[in-house]
Amino acid sequence: MKIALIGTTAESLIQFRKELINLLHKNGHVVYAFAIDYDDVTKEKVKSFGAIPVHYCFSRTGLNPFSDVINTYKLYKILKSLKLDLAFSYFSKPAIFGTLAAKFARIQKRYAMLEGLGFFFTNSGGQVSLRTKLLKKILVSLYKVSFRHIESLILLNADDKRDLLVNEKIQVKKVHILGGIGLNMSDYPYCPPPVEPVSFIFVARFLQEKGVYEFIEAAKIVKKKFPETHFCMLGHLDLHNPGSLTIERLNDLKCNNIIELPGHVDNVQEWLAKASVFVLPSWREGFPRSTQEAMAMGRAVITSDVPGCRDTVVDGVNGFLIKPRSSHALAEKMLCFLHQPELITQMGNASHQIALQQFDSSIVNSKLMKILRVDFENTKSNVC
């Protein structure tokens, strides 16, 4: 079978689709891996996985009707020339325009996956602007048009299914809940969490909707009672995003030595190994990859009781669910680990077991191959 994987960046393709491409290739399928920003290095990496890299033009975000129509037509021409059997588009814009291009190219099997609903579906706790309401309405309309032409829509959590199909009345033939997109567990080996001193780690872009301000304020609260507690934030500013942490606030944190700030790192495993507890006070997620990585390595989790995040934690078993947008609720659960440090190991072990059962890429990709109705060997799980 000739299969197109239509995504966005080459980096995300390399980081998150390697095992899927390997599985497809080993089972005799020809895989065309579409990305918008290939260079010579990333092309060679994708080739080494067993796929054929294909560059196409599209912006990752934003809606420009003229350029989107032109780029959809160009993508259609590429897809038509390849005479494909199946198109699997993932992320918002490929799910819309990749699906339409595949329909025009008469590819018989078409599937789309959304790894979260993003900013427009996030409850910010404040008043929503008219511009945001309009853009959300346009996005939902595009979903309604494109999703008529897919065999199945794949989502990562049940809340997204409710918000799209029930609240927005989007109709699709079938919907599957995949859960996490999967990890190569050997890349995130279990290691015992340190308990002295207790340390908390945040791994995400430094954005308001990721809960960065709640983490900072909670760290200040905890430091007053347990000054030896260590806090670390891995990630970077996104100054094009209105919710980004400001440079001034970041410099203030550096000067006050409240939180260690290594920035963006390529060796996240080494930093997770030094942490006691993983924290993601996000306002909404699809099924957070960072939490899966931390759980695989045996870390207890504190995260928000919101879509996507709540799917990673059994409250009181492998961590705690907290009220979103509340630094005090976060600080309270951090203090639980400081008052009862035995919970760090106990809940970390529970996280690791959940990761083994649910996040192993061989299990997840077997599930995905069944949904896509692609022939393969070594089935490990049932489709939900």
Q: What is the pLDDT of residue 384?
A: 40
For the segment 305-310, the average pLDDT, to the nearest whole number, is 98
Indicate whether this model's pTM tops 0.85: yes
Q: Looking at the predicted structure, is the pLDDT value of residue 136 above 60?
A: yes
Topology, domain 185-358 = Rossmann fold (3.40.50)
Q: What is the pLDDT of residue 11?
A: 95
Reported as a pLDDT band with limits 50, 70 and 90, residue 377 is confident
CATH superfamily, region 2-182+360-372: Glycogen Phosphorylase B; (3.40.50.2000)
HSE-CB of 56 using CA atoms within 13 angstroms? 31
For the segment 300-327, the average pLDDT, to the nearest whole number, is 98
Residue ranges of domains in the chain: 2-182+360-372, 185-358
Q: Please list, in sequence order, all residues whose beta carbon lies within 8 angstroms of the beta carbon of residue 5, skipping any fewer than 6 positions away.
A: 13, 17, 20, 21, 31, 32, 33, 34, 51, 88, 90
Q: Do the first three CATH levels of 2-182+360-372 and 185-358 match, i.e. the same topology?
A: yes
Q: Please list, in sequence order, all residues whose beta carbon lies within 8 angstroms of the beta carbon of residue 40, skipping any fewer than 6 positions away.
A: none
